[in-house]
Chains A and B, each alone.
Chain A
Amino acid sequence: MRVVVCLKQVIDPLTPASTLALDRNEKKIRAGVTAPPVINGFDEQGLEAALRLRETNKDIEIICLAAGERFSNDVMKRSLAVGADQLILVQDPSLDTWDPYPIAAALAAAIRQIGGADLVICGRQGSDWDNALTPYILADLVELPLLTLAKSVTVADGKRVEIERVLADGSMRMNAQLPALVTVTSELGALRMPTVSARLAATRKQPRQFALAELGTAVVPGHAPEVVDLAIPVTGRSCTFIDAADGPSAGVRLAETLLQAGAIRLGGER
């Protein structure tokens, strides 16, 4: 059984907003300092879901697939270090975009190129643009049933995928016939750490590179709104740290500060 996990390389979401550089001409967000990019955290959780599946279904082949403008091999090869069998990178300048349609079209074309997949797993959204749309477009383009927001993923007798979907006030079980596409949510849990030997072995593996042109993707007309401007929101949020000799006095001072600022109204309305 072949599982394709879609990965996106993004700016580290923990990069402080103050160090982000906005390219207002190109409408791009760049890490202002030399902070290395990361694999989108939600996609890493998709890879974790695939690795857990392989613990109970030994004959699973895990292929990680990413589409983007350019990649840091060191960053993307973390997927090989934790146990992915293959890493495929589709690179093209046109894929540095906010528009999820070209990204999904590139992923769909690559999946076709390798002969399809029994299960495609995506993170619920990219932490850069927060669109949460690529999996929907991909499922539409490759015509797969779509199950979303899984906090657990299991495959029954190689034929059906079952998930537990999170809800705001609980969860629900869902299933679909394979082949299918599943998105995972942070509730699934973090990607495991690679072992030292696996990390060393991964340094010898190389990603397969696909050029967008050789995949022959049809141009999907742009349906996403365009970004016309970017700004760091003025929140007035430079953090004022409460200075105090010890914890209890900090607590008292915090209460006084919030009362004075009018942020707390005692016995106030709800």
Chain B
Amino acid sequence: MTGILIVAEVDAGELRPEFWELVTVARAMSATLSGGISIAVIGAKVDAAARQTAGIGEVHVIEDDRLADPWPEAHAAALIQLSGELAPQMVIAPRTILGAEMAARLAVRCRWQLVQDVTQIEATADGGLQGVRPVSGGAVAATIRAGAGPWVVVPRPRAFAPAEAGTGAESIAPLRHSFAPPALATACETPKRIAVEGISIDRAKTVIAGGGGLCGPEPFTLLREIADLVGGAVGASRVAVDSGWVQSALQVGLTGKTIAPDLYIAVGISGAIQHLIGCSSSQVIVAVNNDASAPIFGVANYGVVGDWKEVMPAFRDALAGRTA
């Protein structure tokens, strides 16, 4: 029997970095769950990624051409199949667009308890789990308790420190399972992807993000200059992405990335609920907006009610003056 099965998401041949946060959770939970840690690597052309995970536990691979694209039903079918074969007590999946959906489909199909978006998790004395997670867009923290397993656990991104990669086990061959899904009711085409430029917002310590209030793509040059001064990354709200001002990889929020930088500066972002979900865990939030009633001020530590066109160039120059 398997104790914990970690879903290692592979995106375009690369192991997604969230995996190392899941390892931290798995190691903490393995103190109370017997059966050890196993890894599920699902996709097409996953050899390199599977090797990277080998130091963590027993690696199980389902490799199939039908798993080349992030097709949720197919990837979930593979995970449901592996979970049936390995009978884990706990499956841990990343809270990515694909990972969260695989977790939900597995939990619903097997009627396992889904413990999602948790920032803390621990085993309880009676054989259950207790965790803390944000609800209502981060306005409220809920303590949740799940009874006896199996469980599907989806940790909140950035809430757990990434584990160090294991060493020395890369030569151990993974266990291969052939993909035998039931009839699949949906179909997908190959995604249209847009390449990422600059520092990734989910790794930067400072993120300066622009929204609808910027009224166009040009002001993002100013944000970029400020980001460069402080060694940060430029982010954006959905409005800015949908308007085509910046690429979608910069999007902070429900569809985009959940980030937790040390400093988040929101410029011309009103703070719609789907945006706040993505940034409310930041250490310090600064909001610059000309509307004093904008909801972003409700989560901000520092606020400037004013026109960004006047505030931000002076802000940049003040920082530049300090570095000169």
B-contacting residues of A (Cβ < 8 Å)? Answer: 11, 13-18, 20, 22, 29, 41, 98, 124-125, 127-133, 136-137, 140, 145-149, 165-177, 180, 185-187, 221, 223-233, 235-237, 239-242, 244, 246-252, 254-259, 261, 263-270
Contact = CB atoms under 8 A, between A and B. Distances in A.
Given A29-B140, A227-B142, A251 B312 contact: yes
B89 interface: no
Interface in B110-131: 111-117, 129-131
B185 interface: yes
Contact of A232 (B130, B141, B145, B196): B141
7 contacts: A13-B273, A14-B295, A175-B186, A221-B111, A244-B304, A263-B283, A264-B206
B224 interface: no
B126 to A, nearest CB: 13
Contacts of A252: 314-315, 317-318
Nearest to A265: B230
B274 A172 contact: no
Nearest to A129: B135
The 8 closest A-B pairs by CB, nearest first: A247-B310, A251-B314, A145-B185, A255-B318, A251-B315, A172-B191, A248-B314, A225-B146
A251 B267 CA distance: 12
Given A13-B273, A169-B194, A248-B313, A258 B105 contact: no
A185 B205 CA distance: 28
Contacts of B315: 251-252, 254-255
B140 to A, nearest CB: 6
A258 B286 contact: yes
Interface SS, B side: mixed
Contact of B231 (A14, A246, A268): A268
Contacts of B111: 221, 223
A251 B302 contact: no
Given A185-B254, A263-B283, 6 more contacts: A167-B193, A187-B242, A237-B299, A241-B302, A241-B303, A241-B304
B230 A268 contact: yes
A175 B117 CA distance: 29
A27 B65 CA distance: 46
B108 A133 contact: yes
B298 A17 contact: yes
Nearest to B322: A266
Contacts of B105: 136
B194 to A, nearest CB: 5
A22 B143 CA distance: 13
A232 B130 CA distance: 18
Q: Of B107, B144, B232, B256, which is in contact with the most chain A CB atoms at under 10 Å from its CB?
A: B144
Nearest to B256: A168
B263 interface: yes
Contacts of A29: 135-136, 140
A147 B231 CA distance: 39
B276 to A, nearest CB: 9
Contacts of B263: 258, 263-264
B173 interface: no
B57 interface: no
B131 to A, nearest CB: 8
Contacts of A165: 188
Interface residues of B, number: 106
Contact of A237 (B69, B130, B301, B309): B301
Contact of B141 (A170, A185, A230, A247): A230
B256 A17 contact: no
B144 A226 contact: yes
Contacts of A257: 302
Contact of A242 (B142, B254, B274, B303): B303
Contacts of B101: 148
Contact of A177 (B139, B185, B300, B301): B185
Contacts of B288: 254
Contacts of A176: 185-187
Q: Of B129, B298, B314, which is in contact with the most chain A CB atoms at under 10 Å from its CB?
A: B314
Given A237-B299, A251-B313, A128 B135 contact: yes
Nearest to A174: B188
Contacts of B302: 239-242, 254, 257-258
Contacts of B284: 258, 261, 263
Contacts of A186: 238, 254-255, 272, 274
B285 interface: yes
Contacts of A172: 69-70, 188-192
Interface string B192-231: 1110100100011110000000000000000000000111
B248 interface: yes
Contacts of B134: 130, 233
Contact of A167 (B70, B145, B232, B316): B70
Contacts of B145: 225-226, 228
B113 to A, nearest CB: 6
Q: Of A132, A169, A237, A268, which is in contact with the most chain B CB atoms at under 10 Å from its CB?
A: A169
B311 interface: yes
A127 B137 contact: yes
Interface in B21-47: none
Contacts of A255: 314-315, 318-319, 322
Contact of B230 (A140, A177, A235, A264): A264
B230 A233 contact: no
A137 B143 contact: no
